[in-house]
Structure 1
């Protein structure tokens, strides 16, 4: 055994499985597992991508200047307070590295994005999960979990894998009642899908307080998961702190160009959003008609619960695999009787529903 010892926190953190490279991953006709867009990116984004590919011998702009400018114009934000990275997941790791350490406590929803737990553990901090009310985060539970060791709150809003959201009035109340030394991280990866009047991603809250950061992504609505583009908006002080951790060329040249073009093509994004909402309504109504419990979702996925528990869920998951359909079991979230279903194309959604009908009729 090697005498080289890793950081003590590594052993307590989940590792991403990495099979031998020669092993071919399972092939599925329909992939409804990872909350990706079922549609290709905007044609304008693809055009920008291919055009930029001609100069791949050159490094990308180190600060993603064009993309930050486009995002600032779209959302009326100061682009000097925007940073870009290789996915919002990378930014979440920067935040953890910059603001928490050994002995600190970090609050997050029990059914929040699992990356939070990983980042907390990697810094030697303590994870403090708080409960939901019917899979909706209750702000009072967060406030009740605060101690003199609390340094940060991770809140995915809308939530993954729940698909639910916290009204903006409650987010404001949360910030106003948290001690000033606690950083509030609003992970708004699915904000583009939430059209409810009482939802807001939280940019105004950033401008009113010195202890809020909002993270976003172009992976979901904009269909750029394969390029890994995330971004964040916060105060000048917080962004400058995170920039100490950012690699100079962490967002590739094609990603920057395609991302800017995708954000500018609002008509295409609106069409994708409308199709997603129709898909959510279809999946929810069809699954409920089978007697299954579906948590109402404002995202591009639904969370499905099986009344007969874990064994029924596992049988359904296997049946779907046998039909060439991959979905997302939620055992890692301690939701052992639940599946997360990403909205697909109309044909994919219908194939999934038909497979579920076959399963329920057995």
Structure 2
């Protein structure tokens, strides 16, 4: 027997199964799972009404009664759909621009005799070539099995979105990274190369990937619970020095392994180190997000001169000249954050501060020239190395 939630979802989707949808909008929602047709219908209906409102604002500043009632009813439909989808664990968001427009329209719309358009009305910029309804969950069919699972979006970057799902056969969580639809051919090649590189790397502190789908430009990978930034900030008050040192060493071991294989990450940051949580504050860190990686002494990516990345060495002029000492600079910032819980590079004291200062020295010749000596020094630290107790995040 179907649950109430299943019946609600079935009725909602059946309602929009046969509505006429302009292909100009349906093409924007191929990845939104079961609700794709509904989102396309909402998008097209909103744009029609917004275009009419723009036209009336230029003439008699009166939004007709029929259109006023239609827009009020449509806003209620969108809210009802959101309520139902949230109840079944799916949910969606409306982009900030259209959310602001709808909130503004609520201040003057009337169901009787039409609506006067306010004097402060500004022309609505219609969104026609990108989605305005973003689902936090969709579906994939598991390979080699006649079974689909729900995806929940957990992260987004410039080139891809990351989802999580639970494999029902194993009861284990996995992650899926999917390239965005508007990527150029060159970026899709780079995305595939990122997977192929990760597939070759096998190390406890580097994210493991599993399978690539050329049809959807996506790949499955090991699931992690949060970023290093989230882990440190959530646990900072109860992290012992020994736990911080263990996390720092795992981070450094991962980079040492990467460098030993002839690669530079080029975007070492708090968000590109992920954490698998265990009981209490126990954790294992995983290097991730290898989109800017470069093979030493070769051009692994298309980026030659444009500087990219989160923590950039101020002494570097172009990505083409990026080398190990530039990576050491960003390593210093991450180590400082691990030991202090603060993003202030001057937050640490004592022996830890000396190590960090050597990582970020303006004179590149004065920096560590590889990760190995940093590992030796971190391994040799005593619990008094911080000089004072670490503080809560600023």
TM range (shorter): under 0.3
Q: Which has the higher contact order (CA 8 A, sep 6+)?
A: 1
TM-score by length of 1: 0.21
TM-score by length of 2: 0.20
